[in-house]
Structure 1
Amino acid sequence: MFTKVLSQCLAALTFYTCLPLPVSANLEFRGIARFSPLVGLTIGGLIGGLDWGLAWLGMPVLTRSAIDVAAWVAITGGLHLDGAMDTADGLAVMNPERRLEVMADSATGAFGAMTAVILLLLKTVALSEIATGRVWILMAVAGWGRWGQLVAIAKYPYLKPTGKGAFHKEAIESIWEAVPTLLILMGFSLMVRPGMVIGSAIAVAVGALLNRKLGGQTGDTYGAIVEWTEALLLCTLTML
């Protein structure tokens, strides 16, 4: 059991990040979405470590924040940002029947490009307004974003017979599979900064809104949930 869990955790890191990890044919990719919030905590910890190092060197907070966000994209290979861009292009189409077709197009449209700029700006500016506890906040924000993705996978129908998110949906059978990482993130948030538990509400709301707009989810919307939850939670934390 422990070996299987360890294999899935390593597989989740391999799938969701560009970290130079050892590749093994024995990795178990089925069901890795249930570990994605833990991947988020890891990503946030790495970015937080970078931020701490830059602060120690005397770099101003706005410049640090911009580098942090750039590293955020680099670690994930832009996986979720690409999904947010494709989702924006699809939602911009007035004809609902063409939305999935547009989202599947690899070419980035105007709305996708604007969405990427808005997300990166929101994250950079909001992060620059947060002076303390930045390492913990980065960890929680990245964790809640991926927990929202897990909830969407478990709760909503998948709109395409195949696709980059189909194997996630096949492996996650119940919303109860999101409970273990919910408890981890709740405990972490309450210990560090209680206001961060609002990330759970934001994560669920973003997924519900996209489901209402499209009637289900795709691999692209999973990425959009991650990105918008992260951005909106960072913005919210500037007021708490």
Structure 2
Amino acid sequence: MLSDEQAKASVSLNAWQSGLSDLAACVRFYSRLPVPKLPWEIDPHAAPDINGMARVVPLGGLIIALIPALVLACALLLNLEPWVSAALSVTAMTILTGAFHEDGLADMADSFGGTTRERRLEIMKDSRLGSFGASALILGLVLRIGLLATLATRLDPLPVALVTIASATLSRTTGLTPLVFLAPARLDGASHTVGQPSRDSFWLAAILAAFVVIALGWFGDFGRLGIGLMLLGAALAGLTVTRISARHLNGQTGDIAGATQQVAEIAAMLGLLIATHP
């Protein structure tokens, strides 16, 4: 029979293993990074625990953004122009994620062409890209590159690299908003199959994301106003897209979550740019 100390150690070990498994599942889900199988994992590609994964989304976003942030900092230190540096960073992020969220943004925009809820859901499920989707995809990339490039003219290479990490952390957490507060719009969709994160998990993730952004903002000298506007911008983006989804689809899909992440990333960087003087 285990002693009290041994039982506590066992519980602590299981908690660490569960947390690391959730983080590994999160990085696998949101990116194409080669995450090795952990020693205690039975099937690393099994459907993740949505609540456990939701709690560590901020950390997953941070890990995924490390390489794009490094690309941006190195490009700037090599005296490449801000627009080139920003484009390289966004390219790195797009490759790492397999354009996961960009696809959601394009599908959501295309769905605006539908006149009924059923038609909008049908359009979102269609793999073909329409004019609304192509426009949203192009404008989203241009805005992300433009905002990052402009910030690179106002901040040193290290702080602007931290912006990449902060916005990735915050926006991926914001992407959970429609999944948490709306029911799945389709009974045969991926969001219905995986399940909904609990509100408790979401608020834990939101607090962790805010802490990460505040810490990075303090280290990168974003200023109180800059940090505040990043948080506010992302929050408003999450609420806006969730409201649009509720009105047009009476629910949410995985594409809506991806679109929310893209809009939140743009809103967060725009908020920081407003607070950052030349």
Deviations 1:89-135 (A, max 9, x none): 11221233311011111111111111100100110111111032212
The CA RMSD over aligned residues, in Å, is: 1.8
Measured in 2, the distance between the counterparts of 1:35 and 1:165 equals 18
SS in 2 for 1:238: helix
Instruction: Work out whether residues 127 and 234 of structure 1, in 8 Å CA contact, stay in contact via their aligned partners in 2.
Output: yes
Measured in 2, the distance between the counterparts of 1:34 and 1:211 equals 24
Q: 2:5 maps to which residue?
A: none
Q: 1:40 maps to which residue?
A: 61
Deviations 1:10-43 (A, max 9, x none): 1111111011222464336121233223221222
TM-score, length of structure 2 as denominator length? 0.80
- What is the Cα deviation at residue 73 of structure 1? 0.9
1:63 corresponds to 2:84: yes
Distance 1:43 1:63, change over 3 A: same
Distance 1:3 1:171, change over 3 A: farther
Higher mean C-alpha deviation, range 191-200 or range 10-19: 191-200
1:26 corresponds to 2:43: yes
1:175 corresponds to 2:175: no
Q: 1:95 maps to which residue?
A: 116
SS in 1 for 2:56: helix
Higher mean C-alpha deviation, range 3-12 or range 15-24: 15-24
* Selected match of 2:236 from 185, 198, 201: 201
- The one-letter code of the counterpart of 1:220 is D
Measured in 1, the distance between the counterparts of 2:55 and 2:243 equals 19
Unaligned runs of 5+ in 1: none
Unaligned runs of 5+ in 2: 1-14
Instruction: Work out whether residues 54 and 205 of structure 2, in 8 Å CA contact, stay in contact via their aligned partners in 1.
Output: no
Number of matched pairs: 238
Q: Which of 1 and 2 has greater Rg? A: 2
Instruction: Work out whether residues 34 and 150 of structure 1, in 8 Å CA contact, stay in contact via their aligned partners in 2.
Output: no
Higher mean C-alpha deviation, range 36-45 or range 132-141: 36-45
1:159 corresponds to 2:181: no
- The one-letter code of the counterpart of 1:154 is V
Distance 1:171 1:5, change over 3 A: farther
- What is the Cα deviation at residue 171 of structure 1? 4.8
Instruction: Work out whether residues 237 and 260 of structure 2, in 8 Å CA contact, stay in contact via their aligned partners in 1.
Output: no
Q: 1:216 maps to which residue?
A: 251
Q: Which has the higher contact order (CA 8 A, sep 6+)?
A: 1
